[in-house]
Amino acid sequence: MLCSKEEELNRTKAAVHAIREERDRLRRRVRELQTRLQSVQATGPSSPGRLASTNRPVNPSTGELSTSSSSNDIPIAKVSSSVAEHLAHSLQDCSNIQEIFQTLYSHGSAISESKIREFEVETERLNSRIEHLKSQNDLLTITLEECKSNAERMSMLVGKYESNATALRLALQYSEQCIEAYELLLALAESEQSLILGQFRAAGVGSSPGDQSGDENITQMLKRAHDCRKTAENAAKALLMKLDGSCGGAFAVAGCSVQPWESLSSNSHTSTTSSTASSCDTEFTKEDEQRLKDYIQQLKNDRAAVKLTMLELESIHIDPLSYDVKPRGDSQRLDLENAVLMQELMAMKEEMAELKAQLYLLEKEKKALELKLSTREAQEQAYLVHIEHLKSEVEEHKEQRMRSLSSTSSGGKDKCSKECADTASPALSMADLRTTCSDSELAAEFANAIRREKKLKARVQELVSALERLTKSSEIRHQQSAEFVNDLKRANSNLVAAYEKAKKKHQNKLKKLESQMMAMVERHETQVRMLKQRIALLEEENSRPHTNETSL
């Protein structure tokens, strides 16, 4: 629609531009013709008549030279007069064409102004719509930037959580290794304690001499203590091997200057490692126990170091309010508020443009209705003129009828007057009789015409009053019928609403009755079932023989 209107506007502008060019060309031609006329008149013999003719102006509306009726004008030569006449006709044609183009231009400009007004309203509406969409786009862009920053913050927070989870996993691993080492130390201490207790019992401390069963128990206890000690030592050696393989490099990377096994020589360390790897039959020494304790301490230190690497985590839903981030957050918040306000402003502008477009359409509709009203008024005037014409025809018809009647009555009067004249005054002339008869006929016709006019006026007034009464009654009936229709509509709507309410009430009552009927049926069925059971019990009681009766 907008493209077609723009094309029509461009075509109108092109037509206006062409008309303006044609107007300028015709003006130039008029000026050329005027100069040629002046040059032709100047080249002729210098006579007072020609001088006077050169001073006569040209009528701009007709293009002809203004002539004067003075007696001093001298006739011009035939050649000069023919040239001047040709130039005058050319000027007249040019002026007529100019007037035509002027009217066309004025009409076209009026049309283009209305179209331009419509285009301006539509363009303003579309521009407001575009601005509204731009503001919405800006708001969405700012919201997207905020979401992007939140996503980046969440990704950083997820990275922090991952690093903390890794640190906690390492700390948990170190804690598990420490717990395992502590369990082995505890097992070693318990086995050593049970071994010492068995040795004391074997030495006779706290036992009665000569008790063979006690000796057997002591030997069994010593054997169990040796087995427990051996198992604990093997587990401790395996743990030391594991810690040597896993934590030795870590200790070296950590930069520990003094290691717990540096007091041992390299040869003894190699032999111990090889012997431990080959078999677990070697004896677990105090140095190995000290190494295990040193490993525990090192694991504790590593766990503490890992805990120091844990980051402080902020909340997921609340933005951080640190000093360096706060101004940026305020600026983003202000940008977002400004974008929201701009979006609301553009929405109001769009609504205003829509209202302007609606106002323009209403104005056009108003103009159309005014034109229709003017046409109705013109039709009303035409109908009134037609009514007057019909009234005049009716009056003429009545006058003709009265004339015919008066002519017949005047013929009878002429006969009577002739008879009276013959009997009374035979000396009266025919001319006097004719004049008296004509005067009496004219007076009678005039009186009849006045009466007819009064009657017709009264009839017209009656018809007008009857027409007014009919129009008023028709308007009243139309209004009453409209009110009656509105009342019927309201009554119909009320009846429909009442019907819906009654239908709902009936449905509710029907549902209640159905529920009551179902309850009654269930209650009746339960009563019937209970009665049947009672009847069965009574029949069983009747069928049983009495205790005092003797069975045959």
Q: Identify whether the C-beta of residue 222 lies closer than 8 Å to the C-beta of residue 195.
A: yes
Is the per-residue pLDDT at 250 higher than 50?
no
Q: Please write the tens of the pLDDT for every residue from 387-441.
A: 887 888 888 888 888 887 777 766 655 655 555 545 444 444 444 545 555 667 7
DSSP conformational letter for 547:
S
Angle of helix 48-55 relative to helix 2-43, nearest 10 degrees, comes to 160
Report pLDDT for 265: 35
Is the per-residue pLDDT at 4 higher than 50?
yes
Report pLDDT for 399: 82
For the ranges 76-80, 450-454, 529-533, the lowest mean pLDDT is seen at 76-80
- Please indicate, yes or no, if residue 12 is contained in any of the structural domains: yes
* Average pLDDT in the chain: 71
489 or 536: whose pLDDT is higher?
Answer: 536
- Please indicate, yes or no, if residue 49 is contained in any of the structural domains: yes
Is the per-residue pLDDT at 43 higher than 60?
yes
Fill in the amino acid letter for 354.
E
Tokens of 258: 């003094």
For the ranges 4-8, 214-218, 546-550, the lowest mean pLDDT is seen at 546-550
Q: Identify whether the C-beta of residue 96 lies closer than 8 Å to the C-beta of residue 338.
A: no
Fill in the amino acid letter for 10.
N
302 or 379: whose pLDDT is higher?
Answer: 302
For residues 181-190, give the mean pLDDT: 87
Residue span of the structural domain in which 103 resides: 2-136
Please identify which residue in the block is written with the tokens 């540096």.
262
Report pLDDT for 172: 92
Is the per-residue pLDDT at 498 higher than 80?
no
What span, in angstroms and rounded, lies between the C-alpha atoms of 533 and 33?
Answer: 136
- Please indicate, yes or no, if residue 288 is contained in any of the structural domains: no
Q: Please write the tens of the pLDDT for every residue from 260-269.
A: 333 333 333 4
- Please indicate, yes or no, if residue 454 is contained in any of the structural domains: no
For residues 493-502, give the mean pLDDT: 74
What span, in angstroms and rounded, lies between the C-alpha atoms of 234 and 237?
Answer: 5
Task: Give me the number of domains the chain comprises.
Answer: 1
Query: What is the pLDDT confidence band of residue 278, given thresholds at 50, 70 and 90?
Result: very low
Q: Identify whether the C-beta of residue 340 lies closer than 8 Å to the C-beta of residue 215.
A: no
Report pLDDT for 193: 83
101 or 459: whose pLDDT is higher?
Answer: 459
- Please indicate, yes or no, if residue 95 is contained in any of the structural domains: yes
Is the per-residue pLDDT at 147 higher than 80?
yes
Q: CA dist 483 to 478, 480, 488, 491, Å?
A: 8, 5, 8, 12
- Please indicate, yes or no, if residue 446 is contained in any of the structural domains: no
108 or 454: whose pLDDT is higher?
Answer: 454
Report pLDDT for 477: 76
Report pLDDT for 117: 75
Q: Identify whether the C-beta of residue 374 lies closer than 8 Å to the C-beta of residue 149.
A: no
Q: Please write the tens of the pLDDT for every residue from 304-344.
A: 988 888 887 777 765 544 434 445 556 666 777 787 887 78
User: 49-53, 72-76, 300-304, 493-497 — which one is most confidently predicted on average?
Assistant: 300-304
Report pLDDT for 523: 86
Report pLDDT for 457: 83
- Please indicate, yes or no, if residue 50 is contained in any of the structural domains: yes
- Please indicate, yes or no, if residue 334 is contained in any of the structural domains: no
Query: What is the pLDDT confidence band of residue 25, given thresholds at 50, 70 and 90?
Result: confident
Q: What is the pTM of this model?
A: 0.37
- Terminal-to-terminal C-alpha distance of the chain: 118
